[in-house]
Amino acid sequence: MAAVKIDGTAVAADVRSAVAAAVSTLPGQPCLAVVLVGEDPASEVYVRNKVKMTQAAGMVSIHHRLPADATQGEVESLIERLNADPDVDGILLQLPLPKGLDADAAIEKIDPDKDVDGLTEVSAGRLSLGKPGLRPCTPVGSVILAKRALGEDLSGKHVVVIGRSILVGKPAALLFLAENCTVTIAHSRTANLAEVCRGADILVPAVGRPEMVRGDWVKPGAAVIDVGINRVPAPEKGEGKTKLVGDAHYESCAEVAGFITPVPGGVGPMTIACLLRNTVLAACARRGWAVPAGL
């Protein structure tokens, strides 16, 4: 029997509705500031979507744009101004930055209490130590989708995360660990990788290799939460055309898995929804507001 498709677009819409409902009960409007450097077309689309969805949820959206030839100092001084602005609750630096700029150094300038992407060293430390803080959006979205498939209580599930990046792999492992899962972090050097994956109740490919995970890597009935997003040639669509695929080979995995996220339309839409959720959580923590039920 084919796997049940986990509709990330629908789940993300539910999360955004919960955020909008929460915002309507707050004594003020949370504010998200987005910083875009340069003119990367994909980044411009992402930023437009973030601004639109932030406003649709009833929050204030501030959009700062710097030219592609902006210096490291100009980027960091803008971040420091936003840190000091009491009306700004969340700061998002849109990546990638133009060549020649140090994204890691710029991210470290973000006040951890406004770090709605959860990427600063302090945010990573809080996650690692199990202390309150803002968590990276894509891994949070992955956990939400797993719960949508398998139920709220993931205790005892064996999770295999393929990938050890600081953006997804490591934080996803820690977030599933916090849900009382047993977690294995696998990667390109893992011996018998396919065999390791076959032990997973929840398999999270996050390695950036198109369609690497095949159906015979998947335990029958497992949930596959595919974080990969890869653009590959699609000659069937016409010369020079491309398509998006995940790190899992959808057709073969769907024949074995119990649940699977598609690409696109799976984990991707969750990232912006969780960003909005983080902005509300940041506002509540900074301003001393009670966190509304449902978040």
Residue ranges and CATH numbers for the domains of the chain are 28-111 (3.40.50.10860), 137-269 (3.40.50.720)
Q: Is 163 flagged in the annotation as binding?
A: yes
3-state DSSP call for residue 162?
A: strand
What DSSP element (H or E) covers 150?
A: helix 137-150
Which amino acids are annotated catalytic?
50, 94, 117
Q: Mind listing the pLDDT tens digit for each residue in 201-232?
A: 999 999 999 999 999 999 999 999 999 999 99
Could you tell me if 177 and 154 are in contact, meaning their C-beta atoms sit under 8 angstroms apart? no
Q: Which two tokens stand for residue 263?
A: 């690409």
Cα(46)–Cα(221) distance, integer angstroms:
34
4 pairs with which residues across the strands? Answer: 259
Cα four-point dihedral sign 103, 243, 232, 246: positive
pLDDT (0 to 100) of residue 188: 87
Share of the chain above pLDDT 90, in %: 96
Cα four-point dihedral sign 69, 70, 73, 76: negative
Cα(221)–Cα(256) distance, integer angstroms:
6
- For tokens 């949508």, the residue is 148
pLDDT (0 to 100) of residue 186: 98
How many residues does the structure list for the chain? 295
Q: Establish whether the linkage from the previous residue to 136 is cis, with ω within 30° of 0.
A: no
Q: Is 164 flagged in the annotation as binding?
A: yes
pLDDT (0 to 100) of residue 193: 98
Q: Which residues of 112-133 are buried (b: 16+ CB within 10 A; e: fewer)?
A: bbbbbbbbbebbbebbeeeeeb
Q: Establish whether the linkage from the previous residue to 96 is cis, with ω within 30° of 0.
A: yes
Q: What is the pTM for the complete model shown?
A: 0.95
Could you tell me if 140 and 274 are in contact, meaning their C-beta atoms sit under 8 angstroms apart? yes
Could you tell me if 62 and 245 are in contact, meaning their C-beta atoms sit under 8 angstroms apart? no
Q: Which residues of the chain have pLDDT under 70?
A: 1
Q: Is 229 flagged in the annotation as binding?
A: yes
Q: Which two tokens stand for residue 211?
A: 């369609």
Q: Which two tokens stand for residue 237?
A: 């669509």
Cα(126)–Cα(16) distance, integer angstroms:
25
pLDDT (0 to 100) of residue 1: 66
